[in-house]
Structure 1
Amino acid sequence: MSKVSLPRHVHRVVSRGREYFYYQEGRGTPHAGERIRLPDDPQTPEFWQAVRQAQGTFGPTPTDTIGALIDAFEVSWETRQRKISRGTQAHYRRNLQPARKAWGDLPARELRPRHVDALVRKIGAEKPGAANNVLDALRALVAWATGPADRLSHDPTQGVERFAKGEGHRPWTQEQLDYAEKHFTGMVRRFYFLSRYTGQRISDVVRLNPNDEDEGGFSLSQKKTGVKPWCPIFPELEAEMATWERRPGPYLLQEHGKSIGKPFSTNQMWKAFDRERKKHPILEGAVPHGLRANAVIRLRGEGYTAMLISDMVGMSVEMVEHYCRHADRKASGQAVLRGLREQTDDTIVKRWKSGKQK
């Protein structure tokens, strides 16, 4: 069975154990278009060339353009020895769109670092994070194309610089954490506790369910990366979970509207959180991803190494250190200050009330 993500209007038919592919607009409706047979292997350039022709792009379709290179890159994901998660695929697909739009019909061999640099700078003028994502996706494309795929003989991203990292998502202040714990109710409260004490992304928190519990922790493959951390269920979260009814399915189910009782999507959970946040001015600027930072900072403060935290949260060591940098510096500075105070206390000469030295 083919696992390639097929474009719109392309459907797969299995007959007598064989796969066949067809292009047909409006299939199954009174306005169905012509049914066009496609090549058997959706992992070949010929298949995608036939799709374009069926879509109305007549004549020979170039196979050496940036657009064709991106198409071939996307097709390759399903045959990699090291699988690329669906979340990463969506990330690449989304961040290669600016390149497809800018150079889709241009020969790939003519793309140069100056072109990539110009695109990255243009995007980064307003959205440096988005520009870095585009550059990272292009580098992944180039690494594949200049490797065993042998579709490109040079690196058009060479020397192109990423924008400096911002401070990232800010952790919630202690006042915000205390306020949320005191005032949040219902599913938003559950979401808050799960996020704060597991350090997982929204896309993973909304999927957590009793089946993910594993001997005192959670074991769940992350949607974005495919990494499978083991998150301890800390006493604070355990006490909160003890108040939840035990039932099959995700811990988080919608409470209002037509979808009541159904699981949250990532976007629906964000909207529910945002509605609650708007009710409380003290939570201005607080975002769910900030709780991910709170989780790793808390663990770092308890003496765990970045490597151990990486295993527990499923975050790279680099990102753990990135989130903890402010807390580490503050803790170091406070340790120095305590040392100075202790040193000063030891050298103070105390006096009797009469004014004489002890």
Structure 2
Amino acid sequence: MARKSKSGLLYVKTTTSKGHRYWYFDTGTLDARGKKVFARLPSISDKAAFGTAYAAMLGHRTRRMNAAGALTLANVIALYRKSQRYTSLAAGSKRIYDIYLSELERMLGMGPANEITRGDIVLMVDKRADQPAAANMLLKVTRAMFKWARSRGHVTADPCTDIDLNDLGEHQPWPDDLLAEALAADDPQVRLAVHLLYFTAQRIGDVVAMKFGDIKEGSLFVRQQKTGKELDIPVHKSLAAELAKSGRQIGPILINDRGKPVSVAFLRGRLQKWAKTRGKEIVPHGLRKNAVMALLEADCTVAQTAAISGQTLQMVEHYAKQRDQKRLAKGAIAKWENGG
């Protein structure tokens, strides 16, 4: 039941301070931390000003309640998918958002959008506890959608406030012996995929999208799906030799046994299965780190390395701090022993 003040007015509360009485209207909205937002009303002694302000606030609250009550979370997700915020996403990001928006709709879509609580989001994320990376992406996409919805007035609070992401650590590079074995693997699909991932330092989605037509005058053109950044990457001689073994000059570079383009999920599974038979747990993205480390250890500058990987200078510098200390130390001692 709506709260009334002592005067019988809906959604009004009063406080007394230093002998003065103040009147506040409960707007029916919540701030980012879920606390009620109250608006100051004029002094009730000025009946005209008080009545005008109260009527306006009551009208706004009633209209907002009617609109919010009609919107389910599924309705808000549908509006978000039409928004500029969503449609301007890169193709790769949009595919990821679609996966998790669909999951959010499946789990909470029938609920009133304005009544989704922090507890609902925490429970949804915790149900993914066995897949911490997926749980993080679900939370990130949900947070982005609610931030947009709140900015448009479709909801009044952000139920994702103060929910921590899982600590995932970092993707680890492949062990040197496993990388060497993969680059010489008997399986031509594994061998070619690893050559592309390693010698271009690109994400798996960008590698899957590569075509022979993207190679011109010794350079491979890449438009990164996640960032939209355009790169011209000179083809490493080892990659050129591996590409020549395919005997093809048209179409996608990576194909399955039926000659069809491979998907990211297929290629990731193929590489992980290959590594698992050798007692290793890997992620294809680790090869991006292998590549960056190799470039840095070849005395490439941070800027040169970033020109290949397409990463920010800050990210490459972060990798630079983690270069193979043992290898660098061995080289330093060798220089020292040789007199500098």
Q: Per the shorter chain, which TM-score range?
A: 0.5 to 0.7
* Residues 1:228 and 2:235 aligned together: no
- Report the TM-score, using the length of structure 1 for normalisation: 0.63
Which of residues 128, 132, 137 is equivalent to 1:128? 132
Does 2:261 correspond to 1:263?
yes
Which of these residues, 85, 90, 99, is aligned with residue 85 of structure 1?
Answer: 90
Q: Is the 8 A contact 1:195 1:291 kept in 2?
A: yes
Specify the alignment match of 1:300 in structure 2.
Answer: 296
Name the residue aligned to 1:17: none
The answer to which structure has the higher strand fraction is 2
Whole-angstrom CA distance in 2 between matches of 1:205 and 1:336: 33
1:155 aligned to 155, 158, 161, which one? Answer: 158
- The letter for the 2-side match of 1:126 is D
Match of 1:95 in 2: 100
Query: What is the number of residues matched between the two proteins?
Result: 273
Residues in 2 aligned to 1:194 and 1:140: alpha-carbon distance in whole angstroms: 33
Give the residue type in structure 2 aligned to 1:326: Q
Q: Which residue of 2 aligns with 1:180?
A: 182
Cα deviations across residues 60-109 of structure 1 (Å, max 9, x unaligned)? 99642222111111122xx4597212322221222234533443233323
Task: Indicate how the Cα distance of structure 1 residues 150 and 335 shifts in structure 2: closer, same or farther if over 3 A, else same.
Answer: farther
Q: Secondary structure at the match of 2:154?
A: coil
Matched-pair contact (CA < 8 Å) for 2:74–2:109: yes
Contact 1:116–1:157 (CA<8 Å) still a contact in 2? yes
Give the deviation of 1:198 after TM superposition: 0.8
The residue number in structure 1 matching 2:32 is: none
Secondary structure at the aligned position of 2:77 is classed as helix
- Contact 1:297–1:323 at 8 Å: present in 2 too? yes
The Cα offsets for residues 151-197 of structure 1, whole Å up to 9 and x where unpaired, read as 233333222222223232x2121211222233334233222211110
The letter of the residue matching 1:205 is V
**Cα distance in 2 for residues equivalent to 1:82 and 1:306:** 33
- State the Cα distance separating 1:228 from its structure 2 match: 2.8
Which deviates more, 222-231 or 186-195?
A: 222-231
AA partner of residue 291 (structure 2): A
Cα distance in 2 for partners of 1:62, 1:311 equals 51
Shift of 1:113: 3.8
Distance across 1 between alignment mates of 2:313 and 2:147: 23
Q: Deviations over 1:229-263 (max 9, x none)?
A: 333322322343344424211223334xxx2x333
The amino acid of 1:313's aligned partner reads S
Q: Deviations over 1:19-43 (max 9, x none)?
A: xxxxxxxxxxxxxxxxxxxxxxxxx
**Counterpart of 2:10?**
none
The alpha carbon displacement at 1:130 in A equals 1.9
CA contact (8 A) 1:123 1:130 kept: no
For 1:66 and 1:304, locate their aligned partners in 2 and report how far apart those are by CA, in whole Å: 50
Q: Does 1:167 align with 2:165?
A: no
Once the two structures are TM-superposed, the CA of residue 268 in structure 1 deviates from its matched residue by: 3.5
From 99, 102, 105, give the equivalent of 2:110: 105
Structure number with bigger Rg: 2
Task: Give 2:136's aligned amino acid.
Answer: N
Q: Is the alpha carbon distance of 1:161 and 1:273 closer, same or farther for their aligned partners in structure 2, counting shifts above 3 Å?
A: closer
Whether the aligned pair in 1 keeps the contact of 2:118 and 2:160 (CA below 8 Å) is yes
Identity %: 29
Which SS does the other structure have where 2:323 is aligned? helix
**Paired AA for residue 204 in structure 2:** I
Task: Report the alpha carbon displacement of residue 199 of structure 1 after superposing the two structures with TM.
Answer: 1.9
Q: Deviations over 1:135-162 (max 9, x none)?
A: 2112211232233x33233333222222
- Gaps (5+ residues) in structure 2? 1-66
* Structure 1 spans left out of the alignment, 5+ residues: 1-59, 347-358
The two structures, once aligned, show a CA RMSD in angstroms of 3.7
Matched, 1:70 2:73: no
The answer to whether residue 143 in structure 2 is matched with residue 143 in structure 1 is no
Q: Normalization by structure 2: what TM-score?
A: 0.66
SS at match of 2:285: helix
Residue deviations 1:298-340 (CA, integer Å, cap 9, x gap)? 12323445555344223455654565553266677x389849x
Aligned position for 1:30:
none
Question: Is the 1:63–1:69 Cα contact (8 Å) retained in structure 2?
Answer: no
Post-superposition CA distance 1:272-293 (Å, at most 9, x none): 4456446x52x62244322222
Residue identity matched to 1:64: L
Contact 2:69–2:114 (CA under 8 A) maintained in structure 1 = no
Decide whether aligned partners of structure 1 residues 191 and 125 sit closer, same or farther in structure 2, where only a CA change above 3 A counts. closer
